Structure 1
Amino acid sequence: MAENSDLSVLIVDPNPGMRGNLHNMLAQAGITKIDYAVSSGTAIRQLAKKPFDIVLCEYDLGNGSGEQNGQDGQQLLEDLRAHKLLPPSSIFIMLTSEGVYSKVIGAAELTPTDYVLKPFTVDMLQQRMRRAITRRAVFLPVHQLAEAGNIGKAIEECRSREAANPAYATDFARLRAELLMSKGEYAEAELVYQIIVINRAIAWAQMGVARCQFAQEKYADACATLEGLLSAYPKFMAAYDLLARTHEALGAQETAKKILEDAVAISPNLVGRLRHLGEVALETGDVVAAEKAFKQVVAKAKYSEFRDPEDHVKLVRTLVAKGDTGQISGVIRDMERSLRSSANVDACRAVAAGMLHEMTGNRKGAATEFSNAVSAIAVSRGLSTELKVGVVHSCLNAELDAQASELMLNLMNDTDSGVSMDDAVQVFEKAGRHDLAEGMSKEIKHQVEELIEHASEQRSQGDLRAAVDTLNAGLRKAPANMSLALAATSAILKQLDDLGWEAQLGKHCATLLGRMRLLDPHHAALAQLEAQFAHTQRKYGIAALVESEHQRAGDVRPVGDQVPRDKVQSA
């Protein structure tokens, strides 16, 4: 089959005989560009080097002796999805003789393109592959645009192909909704999903509606949608995860824990869900459930190329709550033996050891380890904000004021941390350290003044877009700073006047004006800026912008800032 000659395939199977059989089957289909992986680790390394058109993956990636010495196909797929090593345009087919329902449903909920039960014939495999390849060809242009970062063009391509391919119209609508969500256009994406639900009542479309409602913070609506979905489809696993997060957002952690426990009982192998269950259980004080969940996470992730040392820290935190010093030492030893040395591992080991010393009353040992943790965090990459804020609190308890302030300042200046300047001050205030909070406030004031001055220079040099970007970056760190909001609004209005109307920028300007009305409704500059905004809208024939959901709710975060403040406060 000449049409398949350009396709590349990765076979993931530890059995050399099965690899040979699959090679022969592929050759009969005209496919010759074939690579091999004998384990999840080698598969990940192959996929990190280059993408493959098709991945044929054996579910059981053990050594054939029954010993579980590696990840299974489900855990591999979970890692590939989480770390974006499997492009949407790639075909992933799971090959399995697994008869255990919980494992099969676990693989299915990670949405492989297909899964084929053994034994299978050449004709059967070719038929499944042909169907997947045909579908892939229809969607490939859209995926290529999206992978290149041209989301707007990808959405337009979806629209045109929707009309030209009626057999795939619903699938193109789904892809269009996903692309809209990736742009943060949740209301429009929700409408697309709602139309699909009305016309077809498809479960994934109901899930899409709920995801959009959650993103817009319409939590009650999301709960109702998800509960209706699970009533009709009680094995739709992703709905449990989102329903749990929705109840968390509503402050109902106990309900969230019960939902996750129900999901784990149905499909017990997804590491991400087990981790989430452990976190919620620990938050609710259920140390028995938290310990069980985190132990499973550590065990199941043991052979992953992406092992997260924070899982060990979470297990240690649970054992501290339980008062089990004996097990903590074992967890730390396991971390030292089984994880490759790195700054992240060093930081997590020091945090865990510090918690153990703290628990046993060794204040000097705890202070040493927490100081070591701060040093390691400074050169680490990818550690969570929650862990870092926890270390700040530990440093305060150990009277390491300088280290606590240094780490908090770094978090505040990290655009990806989600820690605003107000959050940084509140951490110290809540710890009863008004002196440190005052020092942080002075540093923040100095940084804001420097940022406004820098933006003013950019604006005076005619670089309006750079000035707006600079001020918006500052607002993400200090969303309630009136000086920044005023400067940003003024810069945006100047850009809109001089360079033309941009819908998203206009919406952002309206949001900033609404925020300033909440912060200081009598500020002398506010009326002038509102009048200027109205004049700019009239200039371009734009109808007056209505207040956004964020303004009506009294939300003072910038547009697009989705970081929940309780993540910082509860750490």
Structure 2
Amino acid sequence: MSQNSENPIKDKSILIIDDQKSFQQLLKGMLIQLGANNVSFYDSGEAALNKIDKDSVDLVFIDYNLGQGRNGKQFLEELKYLNKLSRHSISILVTGESTRSVVLSVLEIEPDDYLIKPFSSGMLKTRLSKLSNKKKLFFDANQAIEDGQLEAAVQIYLKIAKDRPRNAQFCYKRVCQIYFDLGQYQNAFELLGNILATARPTWALTYMAQTCMFLAQYDKAIRICDELLGQNRFNIDALDIKALCLNHIDQGKESLFLIEQSCNISPHSFARQKTFAEIAQANNDLEALIKAHGTLLAMSKGTAFAHIDYQFNYIRAMFSQLHLANSKEEKADLSNQIKGSLRQAQNDPTVTEQHALFKEFNTFCEARLSVSEGDFLDAKKMIAPYIAEQSLSSSVLPDSVMALFDLGEFDDANAQLEKYKGLNECDGQTLKQLQERNESLANHQTEFEQHNVRGIELYKQGDFQNAIEQFEMALKYAPMNTGSALNLLQALLQLLPRANQAADVILEKCRSNFRLVEGMALPRQHAKRLEDLKFEYNKLAKLYSQSN
């Protein structure tokens, strides 16, 4: 809203978002009575979203219950995320409910105000007048933030706090938020320390707990959270901060309990659900991880938060559970869930927009499903072109690593893992999961490498029979390893002319191992080896056939 205005709503652009025509008309009537002359309506957040521009709305009323789809709190969260509202605009959430969960949910998104139905024209006038005066008071601070001048905004807020003690609490909150944005946690610590030296208001305790968490003073942050929860066990900020601190000091079970409790109290916070997923993954609680990613996927659909990664992460969480499943029934159930999710994902707009990326992801998912069903060869044929051509999108690198580990292609898996480590967008939790999978297979990799290296040594010594045994042992640990399969073929072909009565057995072993590598897109070096080995095999097989 502009800085000068006698009537707080005259000539202001006012938007009402509510799915009830009767309330739209009632509120419009009140606003016109108070001097409004520019009022527009939308029945849903979806309808309003594309119409709202940052400088086109001075005052927006959003009903909490918007029928199907996201509620008013989620829509306001989306408007802020998209930077659709100027800091000079006024946002008011309207609700007919006064339950604890709804009020907490409304306050959490920090609208400029909220109204509980029914309210009178007099109450509306009083609220609008106070909000208009508040925007005037903080106009310069808000403008400094709009212009990216955060240090200047801090000084304006501190001056207002000194000159107008009744507004000091609001100013100090804003200053702390700016300090957090700037990473100036020590400044926040000192400011809050001065305030808490004389009183212990809830807001200051909450900000101090958060500051201590940022400063890695986890025990102190937890003590403050316990003080807050002693005052109000539904304090979701305290629950969130304590959960994060406990996770940092490896008390995962209690951390998960608290963040899930927080999600139950205020279930529509996108940021909180992401925290839930991060804590669940950090503590390897796969059921909680699937639940959190499923909720994030559902909440993101049709919103500005929609992203193909939510599809990927939900399916990845189910694969983690599949990897640890013990019974055939559990494996079959999870496989069916993954297949169903992959089918459903194809109708999602985020997937339609990135069809090529989803095709890559889907290929590696199908390969991993084939491995879980024992079809190693089919799985390898699916992914071989991507690995050979090194044409994989960075978003799907984690899935390629997992699929290659599943197949026992340790060298290729570790090469892909190194690529992922080098990405700027490398996710720390995902990297940790990949490294843990690598570590869990360390014994397999060691055994494979030892047998393969020993086989090469024996081959060089001319001991082809024992070399074959070593390569066969290596393939027990990595059944689809191309390099070891080619090593085995090479040793078999060296032994074939000396085999006499065992020639039929050797030829069958050759045919079996050729099936592991034929028809695949192989790296150039392996492709050339395969071509040479096939030529040698055909020559020896023909000689053996003629001699019999």
Same fold (TM over 0.5): yes
RMSD over equivalenced CA pairs, Å: 3.7
The aligned counterpart of 1:165 is: 164
1:162-217 deviation digits (Å, cap 9, x = unpaired):
22222212222222222222222111111112223334422221121122212222
1:347 counterpart = 2:346? no
1:216-241 deviation digits (Å, cap 9, x = unpaired):
22222222222222222222212222
Cα distance in 1 for partners of 2:74, 2:202 equals 24
1:342-373 deviation digits (Å, cap 9, x = unpaired):
66575356435523431331423652697699
1:338 counterpart = 2:337? no
The aligned counterpart of 2:140 is: 141
1:456-504 deviation digits (Å, cap 9, x = unpaired):
xxxxxxxxxxxxxxxxxxxxxxxxxxxxxxxxxxxxxxxxxxxxxxxxx
Q: Is the Cα contact below 8 Å between 1:350 and 1:372 reproduced in 2?
A: no
The aligned counterpart of 2:33 is: 28
Q: What SS is found at the alignment partner of 1:95?
A: strand
Question: 1:142: Cα distance to partner?
Answer: 0.5
The aligned counterpart of 2:74 is: 75
Structure 1 residues 328, 238: CA separation in 2 closer, same or farther (over 3 Å shift)?
same
Cα distance in 1 for partners of 2:111, 2:293 equals 26
- Following superposition of structure 1 onto structure 2, how do residues 319-468 of structure 1 map, counting pairs within 5 Å? 319-320=318-319, 321-322=321-322, 323=331, 324-341=334-351, 346-347=356-357, 350-351=360-361, 354-361=364-371, 362-364=378-380, 367=383, 377=393, 389=398, 391-394=400-403, 399=409, 409=419, 412=422, 414=424
Q: Is the Cα contact below 8 Å between 1:264 and 1:273 reproduced in 2?
A: yes
Cα distance in 1 for partners of 2:386, 2:220 equals 43
Cα distance in 1 for partners of 2:389, 2:342 equals 14
1:367 maps to amino acid = I
The aligned counterpart of 1:298 is: 297
Cα distance in 1 for partners of 2:21, 2:220 equals 52
Question: 1:101: Cα distance to partner?
Answer: 4.0
Structure 1 residues 271, 162: CA separation in 2 closer, same or farther (over 3 Å shift)?
closer
Q: Is the Cα contact below 8 Å between 2:400 and 2:413 reproduced in 1?
A: no
The aligned counterpart of 2:535 is: none
2:51 maps to amino acid = Q
The aligned counterpart of 1:522 is: none
The aligned counterpart of 1:7 is: 12
Cα distance in 2 for partners of 1:50, 1:109 equals 24
The aligned counterpart of 1:175 is: 174
The aligned counterpart of 1:57 is: 62
The aligned counterpart of 1:239 is: 238
The aligned counterpart of 2:280 is: 281
Cα distance in 2 for partners of 1:344, 1:212 equals 40
Q: Is the Cα contact below 8 Å between 2:88 and 2:139 reproduced in 1?
A: yes
Cα distance in 2 for partners of 1:31, 1:368 equals 66
Structure 1 residues 210, 47: CA separation in 2 closer, same or farther (over 3 Å shift)?
farther
1:46 counterpart = 2:56? no
Q: Could you list the runs of 5+ residues in structure 2 that have no partner in the other structure?
A: 1-5, 323-330, 372-377, 447-548
Q: Is the Cα contact below 8 Å between 1:180 and 1:188 reproduced in 2?
A: yes
**Structure-1-length-normalised TM-score:** 0.64
Q: Is the Cα contact below 8 Å between 2:361 and 2:399 reproduced in 1?
A: no
Cα distance in 2 for partners of 1:108, 1:203 equals 14
Question: 1:304: Cα distance to partner?
Answer: 2.0
Question: 1:95: Cα distance to partner?
Answer: 1.0
Cα distance in 1 for partners of 2:353, 2:381 equals 20
Structure 1 residues 223, 370: CA separation in 2 closer, same or farther (over 3 Å shift)?
farther
Structure 1 residues 298, 121: CA separation in 2 closer, same or farther (over 3 Å shift)?
same
Cα distance in 1 for partners of 2:388, 2:191 equals 51
Q: What SS is found at the alignment partner of 1:75?
A: helix
Structure 1 residues 38, 181: CA separation in 2 closer, same or farther (over 3 Å shift)?
same
2:383 maps to amino acid = A
Cα distance in 2 for partners of 1:293, 1:373 equals 35
Q: Is the Cα contact below 8 Å between 1:189 and 1:212 reproduced in 2?
A: yes
The aligned counterpart of 1:189 is: 188
Q: What SS is found at the alignment partner of 1:27?
A: helix
1:82-110 deviation digits (Å, cap 9, x = unpaired):
44444544322111113554333222222
Cα distance in 2 for partners of 1:216, 1:376 equals 39
Question: 1:328: Cα distance to partner?
Answer: 1.0
- Following superposition of structure 1 onto structure 2, how do residues 478-489 of structure 1 map, counting pairs within 5 Å? none
1:226 counterpart = 2:255? no
Structure 1 residues 404, 43: CA separation in 2 closer, same or farther (over 3 Å shift)?
farther
- Following superposition of structure 1 onto structure 2, how do residues 80-159 of structure 1 map, counting pairs within 5 Å? 80-98=79-97, 100-159=99-158
Q: What SS is found at the alignment partner of 1:56?
A: strand
Q: Which has the larger radius of gyration?
A: 2
Question: 1:49: Cα distance to partner?
Answer: 5.2
Cα distance in 2 for partners of 1:293, 1:281 equals 8
Deviates more, 1:198-207 or 1:43-52: 43-52
Cα distance in 2 for partners of 1:110, 1:374 equals 44
2:345 maps to amino acid = M
1:358 maps to amino acid = R
Structure 1 residues 117, 289: CA separation in 2 closer, same or farther (over 3 Å shift)?
same
Q: Is the Cα contact below 8 Å between 2:363 and 2:382 reproduced in 1?
A: yes
Question: 1:74: Cα distance to partner?
Answer: 1.9
Cα distance in 1 for partners of 2:227, 2:399 equals 38
Q: Is the Cα contact below 8 Å between 1:309 and 1:335 reproduced in 2?
A: no
Deviates more, 1:112-121 or 1:271-280: 271-280
Q: Is the Cα contact below 8 Å between 1:344 and 1:376 reproduced in 2?
A: no
Deviates more, 1:39-48 or 1:223-232: 39-48
1:23 maps to amino acid = K
Structure 1 residues 429, 277: CA separation in 2 closer, same or farther (over 3 Å shift)?
closer
Cα distance in 2 for partners of 1:90, 1:395 equals 53
Q: What SS is found at the alignment partner of 1:4?
A: coil
- Following superposition of structure 1 onto structure 2, how do residues 303-322 of structure 1 map, counting pairs within 5 Å? 303-320=302-319, 321-322=321-322
Q: What SS is found at the alignment partner of 2:346?
A: helix
Cα distance in 2 for partners of 1:112, 1:5 equals 21
Cα distance in 1 for partners of 2:88, 2:254 equals 37
Structure 1 residues 348, 90: CA separation in 2 closer, same or farther (over 3 Å shift)?
farther
Question: 1:59: Cα distance to partner?
Answer: 1.0
Structure 1 residues 263, 135: CA separation in 2 closer, same or farther (over 3 Å shift)?
same
1:5 maps to amino acid = K
**Structure-2-length-normalised TM-score:** 0.66
Structure 1 residues 131, 226: CA separation in 2 closer, same or farther (over 3 Å shift)?
same
1:402-446 deviation digits (Å, cap 9, x = unpaired):
8985785586363x6578xx99x9899968799xxxxxxxxxxxx
1:60 maps to amino acid = N
1:74 maps to amino acid = K
Structure 1 residues 333, 94: CA separation in 2 closer, same or farther (over 3 Å shift)?
same
Q: What SS is found at the alignment partner of 1:363?
A: helix
2:272 maps to amino acid = R
Q: Could you list the runs of 5+ residues in structure 1 that have no partner in the other structure?
A: 63-67, 435-571
Question: 1:259: Cα distance to partner?
Answer: 0.7
